């Protein structure tokens, strides 16, 4: 039998429940005052980071029913995303149906996980489709995330970006993915970056804010670390690697730098900030590597959709294929696992 023990769905025992409580309500990251001199002094040893990142897929692996369990956890952490120029209301509605039932019924039954009621972490769309997604997800408990602030470049006028956030929140988005002005990082204008992210956080109100750093456009890992720190100081609930539209998206070295900054911030302030890698994560193998890194660097508390998300669309298809292989011993064609 290839049924998955329910306790295996939470890698190493389920201590993430405390994180769920810590990250709710009043325990959101309130931010802190900017310390610009501290930010400017941050340095990252690129060689050491790349060496450490290279050990993650080389040293760690999970097999058989535990691999399947980790992949189920990965599904629950996906921000199922459609950000294409040819999106239509019908496309979004079909994506929301997939978000509600990300696994085929026969796989759910074969794995023995029906009682887990597995769903994705959120559905991420352009502002235009927030109302459509909210309606399609009604009653599911799945939040709608809207990309905002002139996504993906973030170069529209400031007032327009703020208005876009407020419009998405008013339309029902419970999460807002904002993009920073990369020039603030490249020029070392930390006060401008802090003020920008703080303004966006205020506009979000009760909606959780994910700050997209566009790490592939920040030139150095030191800049990635500095931008991560400033975004958290300004009150970001999550820091996110990329827009998915960049030439370089989520990589393990970048993720390692960001997790280290999250860990340091939590140690200093007591507030847990989430991480969202996005762009280029399309295989179950890559998802497992990210989950292993999160477990090693931040601990089981972060193995939860409250503190960790994948920004992805094609990833779910490969995870389904791997789970079908676990059940049947055979790999199926991707068209057996359609997204929309």
Domain assignment present for residue 7? The answer is: no
Domain assignment present for residue 27? The answer is: no
Catalytic residue (choose from 98, 210, 276, 306): 276
Output the pLDDT for position 252. 97
User: pLDDT digits over 127-140, tens only?
Assistant: 999 999 999 999 99
User: pLDDT digits over 214-260, tens only?
Assistant: 999 999 999 999 999 999 999 999 999 999 888 788 999 999 999 99
Domain assignment present for residue 257? The answer is: yes
Mean pLDDT, residues 318-323 taken together:
95
Q: What is the rounded distance in angstroms from the CA atom of residue 324 to the CA atom of residue 340?
A: 19
Output the pLDDT for position 296. 95
Owning domain of residue 270: 36-336
Domain with residue 99: its CATH number is 3.20.20.70
Total domains present in the chain: 1
Mean pLDDT, residues 16-23 taken together:
37
- Cβ burial 104-138 (10 Å sphere, 16+ → b, else e): eeebbebbebeeeebbbbbbbbbbebbbbbbebbe
- Cβ burial 30-46 (10 Å sphere, 16+ → b, else e): ebeebebeebeebebee
As to burial, measured by CB atoms within 10 angstroms (0-12 exposed, 13-18 middle, 19+ buried), residue 267 is exposed
Catalytic residue (choose from 79, 177, 246, 318): 177
Output the pLDDT for position 340. 63
Domain assignment present for residue 259? The answer is: yes
User: pLDDT digits over 266-283, tens only?
Assistant: 999 999 999 999 998 999
Q: What is the rounded distance in angstroms from the CA atom of residue 316 to the CA atom of residue 335?
A: 12
The verdict on whether 300 is a catalytic residue reads no
Domain assignment present for residue 21? The answer is: no
Domain assignment present for residue 84? The answer is: yes
The verdict on whether 276 is a catalytic residue reads yes
Domain assignment present for residue 157? The answer is: yes
The residue behind tokens 């921000």 is 79
Catalytic residue (choose from 98, 119, 210, 240): 240
Backbone angles phi, psi at 236, to 5 degrees: -60, 135
Q: What is the rounded distance in angstroms from the CA atom of residue 291 to the CA atom of residue 35?
A: 31
The verdict on whether 285 is a catalytic residue reads no
What global pTM score does this model have?
Answer: 0.91
User: pLDDT digits over 78-122, tens only?
Assistant: 999 999 999 999 999 999 999 999 999 999 999 999 999 999 999
Output the pLDDT for position 5. 45
Output the pLDDT for position 7. 42
**Please, which pLDDT band fits residue 333 given cuts at 50, 70 and 90?**
confident
Domain assignment present for residue 25? The answer is: no
């Amino acid at each position: 039998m290839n049924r998955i023990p329910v306790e295996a769905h939470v890698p190493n025992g389920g201590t993430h429940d405390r994180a769920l409580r810590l990250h709710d309500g009043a325990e959101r990251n309130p931010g802190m005052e900017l310390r610009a001199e501290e930010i400017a002094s941050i340095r990252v040893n690129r060689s050491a980071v790349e060496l450490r990142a290279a050990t993650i897929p080389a040293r760690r692996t999970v097999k058989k029913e535990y691999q399947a369990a980790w992949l189920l956890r990965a599904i629950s952490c996906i921000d199922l995303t459609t950000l294409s120029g040819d999106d239509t209301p019908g496309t979004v509605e079909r994506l929301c149906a997939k978000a509600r039932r990300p696994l085929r019924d026969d796989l759910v039954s074969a794995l023995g996980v029906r009682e887990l009621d597995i769903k994705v972490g959120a559905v991420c769309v352009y502002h235009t489709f927030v109302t459509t997604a909210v309606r399609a997800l009604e009653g599911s408990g799945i939040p709608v995330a809207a990309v905002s602030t002139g996504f993906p470049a973030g170069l529209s006028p400031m007032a327009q970006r703020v208005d876009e956030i407020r419009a998405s929140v008013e339309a029902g988005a419970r999460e807002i993915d904002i993009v920073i002005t990369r020039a603030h990082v490249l020029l070392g204008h930390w006060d401008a970056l802090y003020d920008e992210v703080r303004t966006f956080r205020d506009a979000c109100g009760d909606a959780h804010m994910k700050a997209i750093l566009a790490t592939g456009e920040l030139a150095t890992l030191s800049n990635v670390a500095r931008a991560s720190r400033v975004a958290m100081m300004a009150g970001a609930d999550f820091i996110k690697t990329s827009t998915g539209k960049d030439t370089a998206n989520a990589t393990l070295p970048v993720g390692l730098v960001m997790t280290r900054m999250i860990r340091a911030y939590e140690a200093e302030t007591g507030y847990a900030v989430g991480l969202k890698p996005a762009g280029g994560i399309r295989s179950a193998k890559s998802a497992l590597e990210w989950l292993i890194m999160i477990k090693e660097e931040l601990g089981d508390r972060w193995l939860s959709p409250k503190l960790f998300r994948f920004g992805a669309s094609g990833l779910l298809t490969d995870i389904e294929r791997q789970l079908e292989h676990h059940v049947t011993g055979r790999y199926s064609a991707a068209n057996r696992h359609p997204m929309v």
